[in-house]
Amino acid sequence: MHRTNRRLLAWDRPRQQAALYWLILLLPLPLAIYALGLGRYAIPPQDVVRALYDYLVTSREAAFEPDVVYNVVTRIRLPRIAAALLIGGNLAVTGTAFQGIFRNPLVDSNILGVTSGAGFGAALMLLLTGNPLHVQVAAFGFGLLAVLTAYTISRLYASAPLLVLTLVGILVGSFFGSLTSLLKYIADPLDTLPAITYWLLGSLADVTRGDVPLLAVLSLAGMLFLWAVRWRLNVLSLGDSEALALGLNPTRLKLLIIVFSTLMTAVAVSVSGVIGWVGLVIPHAARTLVGPDHRRLIPATIMLGASFLLAIDTLARTLWSSEPPLGVFTGIVGVPLLLVILRVNKTGWR
């Protein structure tokens, strides 16, 4: 029983375990309220709450009242913070779903090439037009195109479809990666190249109110779907033949999960650019804290991912006047975090 201490967090005390689970689920709310108050114009939490209340319940926008607090909270900071929460939740939960269906704790939703495709689409438009809307649409479209290509090619091989799909996904991903490098090579080093590089490292600095609705709809629909199949994800993670023996149709269900996850990742990347590590680190962290059962893991990863990206983005936004890209930050914070998690608790997977 000498190992018990190491697993305190994981399974041994159901009541603490439940408390921790609910703490994780509620974590984004206080974080968001705190973050909405942070910035060059500091706002105390109670004023943030009042502004949010007005915005959500009484809908003051029609009242035409020139209220600085209200405007800063709802017009300037809320879109960015909502995007951080949604994108963080997206990347984390799709990472969890992919780790489950691919039975591999070392993959995230980029394994089928969605991020690489999106990166290429964005780079292409930054090079051709520079119009932010074009960049977003192209990122989304090429992200989907990459996965669709991988899927179509893998259908040509009848045996072991998922294995082939993974392999082809990696290949398509590196193909688009090379195309992106080519675009960077021919891009103007003073103007376009920095824009491409910056986009590829991810940022929420340019999020506008118009970005939020599509992001919210696709993200929430995807999260709802993954939550709905939470029990089936447990069964799928046993492998195809056991899932079949237990009455699931693994091929169809995995395809659905891939479709939803790809849409979620593509829309996230199209808004924020490429943000690495969240989809890999957060599922591990969540598994350490609440265990591998997807009934708890799915909600926990959504909320933990949302909290993580919000915290990182708030740091990036408030610590420096020139914002460092998020992709850099998530790696710098994410790698040590993952190392600590693996040291503290080894039982989440294996």
Partner 1 sequence: MLQAENLHYGYQPGQPVLRGVSLDMAANSIVYLLGHNGSGKTTLLEVLSGVRQPQQGSVRLNGADLFRLPAAQRARRVGLVPQTHAPVFAYTVHDVVMMGRTPHLRLLATPDRHDRVIVDEALALVGLEDFRHRPYTELSGGEQQLVLIARGIAQQTDVLLLDEPTAHLDPRNQQMVLETVAQLAAVRVAFVISSHNPTSALLYADQVVVLKAGQVLASGTPGEVLTEEMLSRSYDMPVEVLYNERQVARAVVPRRVNGSDSKANGTGFSA
Binding interface with partner 1 (CB under 8 A): 11-12, 14, 100, 103-105, 228-232, 234-235, 237-238, 241-242, 244-249, 287, 291-293, 295, 347-350
The nearer residue to partner 1, 71 or 347, going by C-beta atoms, is 347
* 3-class state of residue 9 by DSSP: coil
Q: Going by C-beta distance under 8 Å and a sequence separation of 6 or more, which residues neighbour residue 308? A: 88, 92, 278, 281, 282, 330
d(CA 118, CA 125): 11
- In the complex with partner 1, the residue whose CB is nearer, 3 or 40, is 3
Nearest distance from residue 345's CB to partner 1, in Å?
10
Question: In sequence order, which residues have a C-beta less than 8 Å from that of residue 301 and are 6 or more positions away?
Answer: 89, 92, 93, 95, 96, 282, 283, 286
Q: Which residues contact 296 (CB under 8 A, 6 or more apart)?
A: 21, 290
Residue pair 329/316 in contact (Cβ under 8 Å)? The answer is yes
Specify the length of the chain in residues: 350
The answer to whether 264 and 216 are in contact (CB under 8 A) is no
Which of 330, 307, 347 has its CA nearest to residue 81? 307
Nearer to partner 1, 143 or 292 (CB): 292
Q: Toward partner 1, which CB reaches closer, 318 or 347?
A: 347
275/329 Cα distance (integer angstroms): 9
Cβ pair 160, 153 in contact under 8 A: no
Residue among 50 and 295 whose Cβ is closer to partner 1: 295
Q: What is the rounded CA–CA span in Å between residue 82 and residue 214? A: 12
Smallest gap from residue 92 Cβ to partner 1 (A): 16
> Which C-beta is closer to partner 1: that of 12 or that of 206?
12
Specify the residue, 214 or 253, whose C-beta has the smaller distance to partner 1. 253
Minimum gap (Å) between residue 139 Cβ and partner 1: 32
Please identify, using beta-carbon distances, which residue of 258 and 310 lies nearer to partner 1: 258
Contact 288, 166 (CB under 8 A): no
Closest contact distance (angstroms) between CB of 305 and partner 1 is 18
**Structure-token pair, residue 334:** 């994410």
User: How far apart are alpha carbons 197 and 200 in whole angstroms?
Assistant: 5
Is the Cβ–Cβ distance between 192 and 314 less than 8 Å? no
